């Protein structure tokens, strides 16, 4: 689950660019708060929407795959409903903290409250309190997924596609790894940046010459409809907040659009 760090967070790691910035310690701390802190509603909501959609459609809930899982909260929530969840992220730092939670049963981190006074808030989360099911975390490239990752009833990517160099390649890989009739769920604020994705690979999202570029949602729908998917549930707006300070005085608030696509069975 990737959210573009704010300018202030990036300034704490001036040499980081593109995907590398997600491995800086400052960013990892912010994401731990985003996934497990007081305002961690978004990753929980993403998993809840997926589970609700699966039940409404009467789909089996054996195995799920989350790509771009960050520190892992959505995958953990999914594991309460699915037989097993595989989850991973390009950032080894995110994978490390998710695995640490599974092995040690607890995570501890700090969030800055006041930089001038050097005041920090101590945070912690327990795997026991989260009621973790069967879930595994590994480092994975969304554009080169291991061949072993196949046979899923659900594949999801939250705040992922607008941070990939070739998002269409990921969508095609997802199609090949779903069970017949399986569900693909995509959530994104569509905040495309050329440091991650060349304009030529954006899904809609930009105007050129006298032509009006389609929105990302339209571009996504056109692409998936041409590659064996049908939209099966109304798109949902899901808000999230990424705090830069533990007191909440500086934060990013953004709305992601969640869309639901079922693989068409021939």
> Over the stretch 152-161, which tens digit does the pLDDT of each residue have?
999 999 999 9
pLDDT category at 121 given cuts 50, 70, 90 is confident
Beta strands in the chain (DSSP E): 63-67, 84-89, 106-114, 119-126, 135-139, 152-158, 178-188, 229-243, 251-263
Note whether 73 and 36 are within 8 A (CB): yes
Q: Which helix (H) or strand (E) is 220 found in, with range?
A: helix 216-225
**Beta bridge partners of residue 250, listed in sequence order:** none
pLDDT value at 168 more than 70: yes
CA distances from 3 to 101, 175, 176, 254 (A): 21, 24, 26, 9
Is residue 76 within 8 Å of residue 50, measured between CB atoms? no
- The answer, as to whether pTM is greater than 0.85, is yes
Residue 261, beta-bridge partner list: 184, 231
Predicted confidence at residue 38, as pLDDT, reads 87
* Cα 133 → chain centroid: 19
Q: Which of 206, 207, 259 is nearest to 229 (CA)?
A: 259
How large is the average pLDDT for residues 115-142? 91
What are the CA-CA distances from residue 237 to residues 73, 169, 186 (Å)?
19, 25, 12
| Domains recognised in the chain with CATH numbers | 7-263 (3.40.50.150)
Residue carrying structure tokens 């309460």 = 80
Please say if the pLDDT value at position 58 is more than 80: yes
Quick one: which H or E segment has residue 28? helix 25-36
DSSP states of 105-128: SEEEEEEEEETTTTEEEEEEEEHH
Percent of the residues in the chain that have a pLDDT greater than 90, as a whole number? 70
pLDDT digits (tens, 9 = 90+) for 220-264: 999 999 999 999 999 999 999 877 777 767 778 899 999 999 999
Work out whether strand 119-126 and strand 135-139 pair parallel, antiparallel, or are unpaired. Answer: unpaired
3-state secondary structure of 87: strand
Dihedral, 140, 93, 161, 136 alpha carbons, nearest 10: 50
User: 21 pLDDT exceeds 50?
Assistant: no
């Amino acid at each position: 689950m990737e959210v573009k760090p704010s300018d202030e967070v990036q300034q704490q790691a001036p040499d980081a660019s593109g995907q590398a910035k997600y491995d800086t310690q400052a960013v990892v701390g912010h994401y731990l708060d985003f996934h497990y802190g007081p305002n961690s509603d978004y990753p929980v909501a993403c998993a809840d929407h997926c589970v609700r959609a699966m039940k409404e459609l009467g789909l089996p809930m054996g195995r799920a795959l989350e790509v771009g899982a960050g520190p892992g909260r959505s995958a953990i929530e999914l594991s309460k409903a699915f037989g097993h969840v595989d989850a991973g992220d390009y950032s080894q730092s995110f994978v490390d903290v998710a695995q640490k939670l599974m092995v040690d049963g607890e995570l501890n981190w700090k969030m800055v409250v006041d930089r001038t006074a050097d005041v920090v808030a101590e945070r912690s989360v327990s795997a026991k309190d989260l009621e973790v099911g069967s879930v595994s975390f590994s480092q994975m490239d969304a554009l080169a997924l291991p061949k072993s990752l196949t046979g899923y009833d659900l594949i999801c990517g939250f705040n992922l596609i607008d941070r990939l160099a070739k998002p269409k390649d990921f969508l095609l890989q997802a199609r090949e790894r779903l069970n017949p009739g399986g569900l693909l769920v995509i959530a994104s604020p569509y905040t495309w940046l050329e440091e991650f994705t060349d304009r030529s690979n954006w899904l809609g999202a930009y105007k050129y010459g006298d032509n009006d570029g389609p929105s990302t949602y339209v571009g996504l729908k056109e692409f998936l409809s041409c590659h064996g998917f049908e939209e099966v549930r109304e798109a949902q707006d899901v808000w999230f907040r990424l705090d830069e300070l533990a007191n909440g005085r500086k934060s990013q608030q953004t709305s992601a659009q969640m869309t639901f696509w079922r693989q068409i069975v021939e």
